[in-house]
Amino acid sequence: STTDYSMPSDDKRSVLFVCLGNICRSPIAEAVFLEEVKKRGLEERWGADSAATFGYHTGKSPEGRAMSTLKKFGVTDYKHRARVLRPDDAQEFDFIFGMDDSNIRDIKDELRSHKGKAVIDLLGSYDPQGKKHVPDPYYESGTARFEEVYHQCVRCVKAFLDKHN
């Protein structure tokens, strides 16, 4: 092609999933997304990462219940270390998804002065069941809420990829 883009992988699009601490919801969403991308044979087309709005858990692996939930549903090769949202994420990613309204506010605050291409939206805006918010399971006992989060992320990710491919 004669069009010269600055990035060699310009046709590859990327998604950043963001929650408060980057150890529960956003890693589950990222893992589910990568799994669905793999199932559809779209690894050349899509990349993903996840991040926190606050650095409570920077450098830590996802919460144990998040990992056991992923494993229960067959996602066994996911690895991640929590990181904080960075200003250059606005330029780096095509889509940045928050899990709830306070995530969206924090993302917009953090990226306000940084021009970027990223579309910032609630992941739940893609939920065919109409659940706009992905609830934080961190303070709940057991894994039931984590499994709800997993299933909601699966619904949203499938709907997103159906729309954007």
Determine the length of the chain. Answer: 165
Question: Which of 1-5, 66-70, 125-129, 159-163 has the least mean pLDDT?
Answer: 1-5
Average pLDDT rounded to a whole number, residues 79-97: 96
Closest by CA to 134, choosing from 144, 143, 122, 142, is: 122
| 16-163 is a CATH 3.40.50.2300 domain | yes
Cα–Cα dist 5/154, whole Å? 33
Which residues participate in catalysis according to the annotation? Answer: 19, 25, 136
Rg, Å, the chain Cα set: 15
- In this predicted model, what pLDDT tens digit does every residue of 89-122 receive, in sequence order? 999 999 999 999 999 999 999 998 887 889 999 9
Q: Are 158 and 78 in contact (CB under 8 A)?
A: no
